Amino acid sequence: MTNSESLLPRLESLARRAADSEGVQVAWVELKGQGGSCIFRVFIEREDGLVGLIDCERVGSRLGDMLDVEDPLESHYTLEVSTPGLDRPLHREKDYERFVGRLATIKTKTPQHGRRRFKGRILSVEGGVVRLDEGGQECEIATSLIAKGRLEVELSLPIPTSKAGNRP
């Protein structure tokens, strides 16, 4: 286990405490080394998906204070607090469960059903298996075989309606 791997659970615990105090949840954390310094990234979210810049600033400020007091990082570091974004990565089984009904892209570690890339609507997650609807075709992928998963950005515009009749 590398130093950053042993440090990550402690950093994640601090990030969760800071996020909880601001009413948001930690989606995941990353610690990336760059020369003599590192970048500590914290991705925050809410169940309703409404996380803004102010949430990121508040969590960053609170977590920065906690890091100053506890001083777990020995080298210079940069703290980044962000949202997962519209094309949010799916890391854990509970992420797939949370986004049932959404369009996702999945890449597997080894070929499944003759291929490694899948794109479809998440139908369900049960017993370690994600079920996707790929345009009417259902497929099942074991979560243990998923190398990467990500939500697809779906922008849908409402159909305009007019009380004055059929105007363009």
Contact residues for 157 (Cβ-Cβ < 8 A; gap 6+)? none
Q: Is the pLDDT of residue 1 over 70?
A: no
Q: What is the CATH number of domain 93-151?
A: 2.30.30.100
What value does the CA radius of gyration of the chain take, rounded to a whole number of Å? 20
Q: For the segment 67-123, what is each residue's pLDDT rounded down to a tens digit?
A: 999 888 878 899 999 999 889 999 999 999 999 999 999 999 999 889 999 999 999
Q: Residue 47 has what pLDDT? A: 81
Residue 134 above 90 pLDDT?
yes
The residues spanned by each domain of the chain are 3-82, 93-151
What's the pLDDT score for residue 49?
76
Alpha-carbon dihedral 150, 92, 30, 61, rounded to 10 degrees: 100
User: Is residue 45 within 8 Å of residue 80, measured between CB atoms?
Assistant: no
Q: What is the pTM of this model?
A: 0.76
* 3-82 placed in CATH 3.30.300.70: yes
